[in-house]
Structure 1
Amino acid sequence: MFKKKVFTDSGIEVKGVYTAADLAVTGPHSLPGGAGGEMPGEFPFTRGIQHDMYRGKLWTTRQYAGFSTAEESNARYHYLLEHGVMGLSVAFDLPTQIGYDSDHPLAEGEVGKTGVAIDSIEDMQTLFKGIRLEDVSTSMTINATGFILLAFYAVVAKQQGADWKKITGTIQNDILKEYAARGTYIYPPKPSMRIITDIFEWCSHQLPKWNTISISGYHIREAGSTAVQEIAFTLSNGKAYVKAALEKGLDIDVFGKRLSFFFNSHNNLFEEVAKFRAARRMWARIMKELGATDPKAMMLRFHTQTGGSTLTAQQPMNNISRVTVQTLAAVLGGTQSLHTNGYDEALSLPTEEAARIALRTQQIVAYESGAADTADPLAGSYYVEALTREVEEAAWKLIEHIDRLGGSVPAIEQGFIQEEIARSAYEYQRRVESKEKLIVGVNSFLTEEKDSIPIFRVDDSIRAVQIEKINDLKRRRDPARVDSVLQELNDKAASGENIMPAVVEAVERRCTLGEIADTLREVFGEYR
Structure 2
Amino acid sequence: MSVTDREKLSATELRDRLSGKEDEIRKLRAALAEWEGAWAATPRRDDTLFTSVSGREVNPLYTPGDLEDGPGYLESLGFPGEFPFTRGPYSTMYRTRLWTMRQFAGFATAEETNQRYKYLLANGQTGLSVAFDFPTLMGYDSDHPRSLGEVGICGVAISSLADMETLFEGIPLDQVSVSMTINGPAIILFAFYVAAAEKQGVSAAKLRGTAQNDILKEYQAQHAWVFPPEPALRLIVDMFEWASEHTPKYNPISISGYHIREAGSTATQELAFTLGNGFEYVERGIARGLDIDSFAPRLSFFFDVHNDFFEEVAKFRAARRIWARHMKEKYGATNPDSWRLRTHAQTAGVSLTAQQPENNIVRVAYQALAAVLGGTQSLHTNSMDETLALPTEKAVRIALRTQQILAYETGIPNTMDPLAGSYYLESLTNQLESEAEEIFRQVE
User: Which position in structure 2 is the counterpart of 1:108?
Assistant: 148
Residue 287 of structure 1 and its aligned partner are, at CA, apart by: 1.0
Q: Could you tell me which runs of 5 or more consecutive residues in structure 1 were left unpaired when the two chains were aligned.
A: 404-528
Change (3 A) 1:36 1:43: closer
User: Which position in structure 2 is the counterpart of 1:198?
Assistant: 238
Query: Aligned equivalents of 1:163 and 1:73: distance in 2?
Result: 24
Query: Aligned equivalents of 2:94 and 2:381: distance in 1?
Result: 18
Query: Aligned equivalents of 2:410 and 2:285: distance in 1?
Result: 42
Equivalent residue in structure 1 for 2:69, among 25, 37, 41: 25
Larger RCO: 1 or 2 (CA < 8 Å, sep 6+): 1
Letter in 1 for 2:333: A
What is the SS of the residue equivalent to 1:13?
A: coil
Equivalent residue in structure 2 for 1:243, among 271, 274, 283: 283
Alpha-carbon displacement from aligned partner over 1:273-316 (angstroms, at most 9, x marks no partner): 00000000001111111120111111100000111111001111
Equivalent residue in structure 2 for 1:262, among 277, 290, 302: 302
What is the SS of the residue equivalent to 1:260?
A: strand
User: Which position in structure 1 is the counterpart of 2:412?
Assistant: 371
What is the SS of the residue equivalent to 2:269?
A: helix
Query: Aligned equivalents of 1:169 and 1:310: distance in 2?
Result: 27
Equivalent residue in structure 1 for 2:59, among 2, 15, 30: 15
User: Which position in structure 1 is the counterpart of 2:4?
Assistant: none
User: Which position in structure 1 is the counterpart of 2:14?
Assistant: none
Alpha-carbon displacement from aligned partner over 1:120-148 (angstroms, at most 9, x marks no partner): 00000100000011111000000001101
Residue 35 of structure 1 and its aligned partner are, at CA, apart by: 6.7
Could you tell me the TM-score, scaled by structure 2's length?
0.88
Equivalent residue in structure 2 for 1:188, among 202, 225, 228: 228
Change (3 A) 1:258 1:210: same
Equivalent residue in structure 1 for 2:333, among 292, 298, 322: 292
Equivalent residue in structure 1 for 2:389, among 340, 348, 351: 348
Change (3 A) 1:400 1:109: same
RMSD of aligned residue pairs (Cα, Å): 1.2
- Report the more deviating stretch, 161-170 or 92-101: 161-170
User: Which position in structure 2 is the counterpart of 1:396?
Assistant: 437
User: Which position in structure 1 is the counterpart of 2:120?
Assistant: 80
Residue 7 of structure 1 and its aligned partner are, at CA, apart by: 1.9
What is the SS of the residue equivalent to 2:143?
A: coil
Could you tell me the TM-score, scaled by structure 1's length?
0.74
Change (3 A) 1:309 1:37: closer
Tell me, yes or no, if the aligned pair for 1:23 and 1:34 is still in contact at 8 Å: no
What is the SS of the residue equivalent to 2:67?
A: helix
User: Which position in structure 1 is the counterpart of 2:315?
Assistant: 275
Alpha-carbon displacement from aligned partner over 1:180-206 (angstroms, at most 9, x marks no partner): 001100100000000000000011111
Letter in 1 for 2:65: A
Length, aligned pairs only: 399
Residue 21 of structure 1 and its aligned partner are, at CA, apart by: 1.2
Equivalent residue in structure 1 for 2:253, among 210, 213, 217: 213
Structure 1 runs of 4+ aligned residues shifted over 4 Å read 32-37
Residue 9 of structure 1 and its aligned partner are, at CA, apart by: 2.2
Equivalent residue in structure 2 for 1:314, among 344, 350, 355: 355
Query: Aligned equivalents of 1:309 and 1:10: distance in 2?
Result: 14
Tell me, yes or no, if the aligned pair for 1:23 and 1:33 is still in contact at 8 Å: no
Change (3 A) 1:25 1:148: same
Q: Kindly, what percent of the aligned residue pairs are identical?
A: 60
User: Which position in structure 1 is the counterpart of 2:9?
Assistant: none
Change (3 A) 1:37 1:201: closer
Alpha-carbon displacement from aligned partner over 1:233-268 (angstroms, at most 9, x marks no partner): 000000110000000011111201100000000111
Letter in 1 for 2:316: F
Match runs of 1:100-499 below 5 Å: 100-288=140-328, 289-403=330-444
Q: Could you tell me which runs of 5 or more consecutive residues in structure 2 were left unpaired when the two chains were aligned.
A: 1-35, 41-46
Residue 12 of structure 1 and its aligned partner are, at CA, apart by: 2.3
Residue 10 of structure 1 and its aligned partner are, at CA, apart by: 2.4
- 1:64 partnered with 2:104: yes
Residue 105 of structure 1 and its aligned partner are, at CA, apart by: 1.3
Tell me, yes or no, if the aligned pair for 1:34 and 1:385 is still in contact at 8 Å: no
Query: Aligned equivalents of 1:152 and 1:299: distance in 2?
Result: 29
Letter in 1 for 2:439: L
Query: Aligned equivalents of 2:245 and 2:428: distance in 1?
Result: 41
Letter in 1 for 2:437: W
Tell me, yes or no, if the aligned pair for 1:35 and 1:379 is still in contact at 8 Å: no
User: Which position in structure 2 is the counterpart of 1:96?
Assistant: 136
Tell me, yes or no, if the aligned pair for 1:94 and 1:114 is still in contact at 8 Å: yes
Equivalent residue in structure 2 for 1:55, among 84, 89, 95: 95
Residue 348 of structure 1 and its aligned partner are, at CA, apart by: 1.0
Query: Aligned equivalents of 1:352 and 1:233: distance in 2?
Result: 35
Tell me, yes or no, if the aligned pair for 1:33 and 1:385 is still in contact at 8 Å: no
Residue 52 of structure 1 and its aligned partner are, at CA, apart by: 1.3
Residue 25 of structure 1 and its aligned partner are, at CA, apart by: 3.2
Tell me, yes or no, if the aligned pair for 2:77 and 2:87 is still in contact at 8 Å: no
Alpha-carbon displacement from aligned partner over 1:440-467 (angstroms, at most 9, x marks no partner): xxxxxxxxxxxxxxxxxxxxxxxxxxxx
Query: Aligned equivalents of 2:393 and 2:440: distance in 1?
Result: 41
Residue 104 of structure 1 and its aligned partner are, at CA, apart by: 1.1
Query: Aligned equivalents of 1:37 and 1:89: distance in 2?
Result: 32
Residue 352 of structure 1 and its aligned partner are, at CA, apart by: 0.7
User: Which position in structure 1 is the counterpart of 2:8?
Assistant: none
Query: Aligned equivalents of 2:424 and 2:160: distance in 1?
Result: 52
